[in-house]
Amino acid sequence: MLLAIDAGNTNVVFAIYDGDTPRGRWRISTDSRRTSDEYAVWLTSAMALKGLAAQDVNAAILSSVVPATTPDLIRLCKDHFGCVPMRIGDPAVDVGIEIRIDNPREAGADRLVNAVAATERYQAPLVVLDIGTGTTFDVVDADGAFAGGIIAPGPTLSLDALHRVAAQLPKVDIAKPDRVIGRGTVGAMQSGMYWGYTAMIEGLLRRIKAELSPTGTPPVTVIGTGGMVRVFAEETGMVDHIDADLTLRGLLLIYRRNAKSGG
């Protein structure tokens, strides 16, 4: 079985695949102080609830955008699952997509994995809208190449920053206000976050589509993923598909590609 690990800024997500079949999926908050042994105690306990044991795993693949967590996740695989993980970003690992940006080494592991999964299931040209700690728009052109995109702060990060630096502004949750014009501080902040991010998403998607396919032919497909995408996707009406498993499926596809080729 394959252990797939997606280490993001907010959460580390683990999944076990038996061939094409997902056998379990678990997430834990990202903490650079967490050791490989701590990961192992938590993960093997969670796996046991699904009838899975560490010895069932014989391969692993890792995507990490948090360098401080990467060594312990590698040790987790080596010491507790008996395998060296395939790592996105390792030059020996072929992700299977052309990277058509100024400096291909700058392409984030999670962004490439999402692009790979999206092109396997959806028609290019396409945009992957990933709303989490950051908000990213990852573009795949009509030829199926990763063509760059946009990176912006995520809504929760922006809201937390506003609370931290402005002494009189409270900490509020992200929610859809009934009105655009807030009648109080909380309403005004929620409006700024919800309607502000909705407007940003709509505006940037329109501009991306105009650059990517000026005539509208072929049409640009928008795929939404990430922990907060559902909060905004319905309101914008511009997200064609929501795919919560995009990153993990991309890891599975990349693992297969390299295992098959002997990489």
Whole-angstrom Cα distance, residue 243 to residue 250? 11
* Catalytically annotated residue among 72, 110, 138, 243: 110
- Model pTM score: 0.90
Whole-angstrom Cα distance, residue 6 to residue 110? 8
What is the pLDDT at residue 262? 63
Whole-angstrom Cα distance, residue 189 to residue 177? 10
What is the pLDDT at residue 21? 94
Whole-angstrom Cα distance, residue 84 to residue 6? 15
Angle at 117 between CA 158 and CA 222, to 5 degrees: 55
User: Which residues make up each annotated binding site?
Assistant: 6-13, 108-111, 130, 133, 185
Are 47 and 247 in contact by the 8 Å Cβ rule? The answer is no
What is the pLDDT at residue 156? 83
> Which residue in 155, 184, 156 sits closest to 169, CA to CA?
184
User: Which residues make up each annotated binding site for K(+)?
Assistant: 130
User: Annotated catalytic, 110?
Assistant: yes
- Tell me, what DSSP letter sits at residue 30? -
What is the pLDDT at residue 132? 87
Cα–Cα distances (Å) from 236 to 53, 64, 98, 190, 208, in that order, read 43, 30, 30, 17, 15
Mean pLDDT for back-to-back runs of 10 residues, the chain (263 residues) = 95 95 95 96 97 97 96 98 96 94 91 96 96 93 96 87 78 88 90 93 97 95 93 92 95 94 61
- At 4, list the tokens: 């797939």
Strand arrangement of the beta sheet that strand 59-64 belongs to: 21-29, 11-18, 2-7, 59-64, 86-87
How far is C-alpha 213 from the geometric centre of its chain's CA atoms? Answer: 25
Whole-angstrom Cα distance, residue 214 to residue 21? 40
DSSP H helices in 1-84: 36-48, 70-75, 81
What is the pLDDT at residue 174? 86
Task: Go through the domains of the chain in sequence order and give each one's CATH number.
Answer: 2-87 (3.30.420.40), 104-250 (3.30.420.40)
Q: Which residue has the tokens 């992200």?
A: 174
